Structure 1
Amino acid sequence: MAAQQPSSASTHHSGDRWPPLESSPEVFNQFMWSLGVPQGEAEFHDVYGLDPEALAMVPQPALAVLFCFPDPPEDPSNPQEQVLAKEEKTTSDEVYFIKQIDSLGNACGTIALLHAVGNACSEISLLENSCLDLFFKSTASMDPYERARVLDKDDDMETAHSLAASAGDTELRDIVEEHYICFMVLNGTLYELDGMKGGPIKHGSSSPESLLQDAVHIIKAIMHKIPNSMNFNVMVLSRKPK
């Protein structure tokens, strides 16, 4: 299953400056297009199930997969964090990654969008001097923390985020705390990009044609850790057919 909860939200820290985003293609498409991705270039699509038949209905190849889910309980025995230091060194130069610092509040939806578009720039032609174009150019040589600080001070990005947050059908007071992460493929490797983690996480080999199916294996593992929740949503960023 997937997308049983059509509207969901963001992450750990509350705050008026970065309110949570509803997890719907309509919200994310308008948000992305307002930032500088031309409407004829790419769009988000819902994934209505995790079985092969439902996945086959999603326009592919995928540029990125966004997953929205409730935060699982902290597991001190989880060895994943110990791996991240190595992964960050080996991927920081090739993967565009932004750290989610405390002052960014519920900005994980925006960070997931930036991870998706920022790592698909070879496939998406941004509008020149648009918000995204200027942001990626100005932060290209920065580390993940520096990029986070630039994002936190970007008034145009913050305004666009707030407008997108108010555009959903779900009342902000009704949204439960959830978190966005992004999956993408670069140079034949599947990466998980989570701003709350120490860096990009490698998940083995993949391709644009198999990205969605490969990401679903990781998504199912995350869902398995949160058995009492139905608040999951999966979206795919795909190129629009020419």
Structure 2
Amino acid sequence: MGDHWTTIESDPGVFSELLERMGVKGVQMEELWSLDEDSLHSLKPIYGLIFLFKWQKEEDGRPVAADFEEKGVFFASQVINNACATQAIVNVLMNRPELDIGAELAQLRDFTSGFPPEMKGLAIGNSECIRSVHNSFSPPQPIVPEERDDEKGEAFHFIAYLPVTGALYELDGLKPGPIKLADCSEDDWLPKAAAAITERMGRYAASEVKFNLMACIEDRRQKYRREVAQQQHLQERIRAKLGNSAPPAPPADAAAGAGAAEVPLPDDPDTLAARLAESEGEVDRLQAALAMEEERRRQWADENIRRRTDYIPFAFQLLSALAEAGQLQPLVERAKEAHAAKLEERRRQQQQGSS
């Protein structure tokens, strides 16, 4: 099977760049802080939800969907360590035919068509492209630490929720197959998925607070650019009607909303002028949102560079230079004194609080 897979950080900036480097276009990951209707609506279109939680052994009597292969559900078992996050995302992408998932994933989906879940998992584990992109977010480590999920040795797990052919599924790579949660449509699957995730969090609430939820969504930059182009086309139509000139041709570029039905415009000039002003304000809002998203992407890129950087040689050279200059030991002594002072202050506050 594939070579070693490292643990990577659960972060939308990491997973969004991971998607891009695997060849996926027009998709990003976004962290969710709430499952309320407004929060979910603001991120639409949502292609799937990825739920991270601290794994604990429990009995699950829910049956696996017996007809999932006939329904066209792509499901890969998790057969490699440390890859459950990437695999959960891949499970979402493979079940979304409307997405441009790139040549590598498209070829993998075609190649594994008809394979059982275990073989699909092995195929993902043996994908050099997926493994190398996944591992690229871990810095080179001259001192290899013992493998564990965190300092307590806790295991964390990712599962996916998404609709496929009229049903909502839970895709957990540690289960023998997908679990059908409910019948649904593209319009109503999110509230049902939110209810399932909320119920799961409730079961763990007494002993566990470590949860993370991300949504697989359309690239915000692509969405904002498309909506700006649509508003600009609307403004051209309004100005043409106000000037009694021929309307502009419908946009031919999909990024500008090609193929979308054009809403009829009113005849009243005052109403048209109001609509024009409203559209100009919307363009300003969208361009500001686009600029913020572009800045966030630059921040993600900087953070990911730092994640890949091995700072141990720098720290070693710095300490060596300080020692040669005779400055290291005084700094150590000052740090010890500062630490002792903090401990003494904490002890004094505790005594005052108990008196």
Shorter-chain TM-score tier:
0.7 to 0.9
When the two structures are aligned, how many residues end up with a matched partner? 209
Deviation, 1:209, is 3.0
> Which whole-Å CA distance do the structure 1 matches of 2:150 and 2:201 have between them?
24
Residue identity opposite 2:203 in structure 1: K
> Which whole-Å CA distance do the structure 2 matches of 1:63 and 1:165 have between them?
27
**1:27 correspondence with 2:14:** yes
Q: Structure 1 221/158 Cα, relative in aligned 2: closer, same or farther at 3 Å?
A: same
Structure (1 or 2) with the greater helix fraction: 2
Q: 1:197 aligns with which of 161, 175, 184?
A: 175
Deviations 1:95-122 (A, max 9, x none): 0000112xx01111111011110001x2
Q: 2:91 aligns with which of 115, 122, 132?
A: 115
Q: Is the 8 A contact 1:61 1:209 kept in 2?
A: no
3-state SS of paired residue (1:23): coil
Aligned to 2:293: none
Q: 1:105 aligns with which of 65, 74, 81?
A: 81
**1:156 correspondence with 2:156:** no
Structure 2: runs of 5+ lacking an equivalent: 141-147, 227-355
Aligned to 2:52: 68
**1:91 correspondence with 2:73:** no
Deviations 1:9-51 (A, max 9, x none): xxxxxxx82223322211111111111102xx12111111123
Deviation, 1:139, is 1.3
3-state SS of paired residue (2:109): helix
Q: Structure 1 209/166 Cα, relative in aligned 2: closer, same or farther at 3 Å?
A: farther
Q: Is the 8 A contact 1:36 1:133 kept in 2?
A: no
3-state SS of paired residue (1:79): coil
| 1:26-45 superposed matches below 5 A | 26-38=13-25, 41-45=26-30
Aligned to 1:79: 61
Deviation, 1:146, is 1.1
Q: 1:50 aligns with which of 35, 40, 48?
A: 35
Q: Is the 8 A contact 2:117 2:176 kept in 1?
A: no
Deviation, 1:165, is 4.6
Q: Is the 8 A contact 1:31 1:161 kept in 2?
A: yes
> Which whole-Å CA distance do the structure 1 matches of 2:181 and 2:109 have between them?
25
Instruction: Report the aligned-residue RMSD.
Output: 2.3
Question: Which TM-score applies when normalising by structure 2?
Answer: 0.55
3-state SS of paired residue (1:91): coil
Q: Is the 8 A contact 1:30 1:164 kept in 2?
A: no
> Which whole-Å CA distance do the structure 1 matches of 2:49 and 2:169 have between them?
10
Q: Structure 1 166/115 Cα, relative in aligned 2: closer, same or farther at 3 Å?
A: farther
Residue identity opposite 1:123 in structure 2: E
**1:141 correspondence with 2:114:** yes
| Identity level (%) | 25
Structure (1 or 2) with the greater strand fraction: 1
Structure 1: runs of 5+ lacking an equivalent: 1-15
Residue identity opposite 2:8 in structure 1: L
Q: Structure 1 159/172 Cα, relative in aligned 2: closer, same or farther at 3 Å?
A: farther
| 1:127-138 superposed matches below 5 A | 127=102, 129=103, 131-138=104-111
Question: Which TM-score applies when normalising by structure 1?
Answer: 0.78
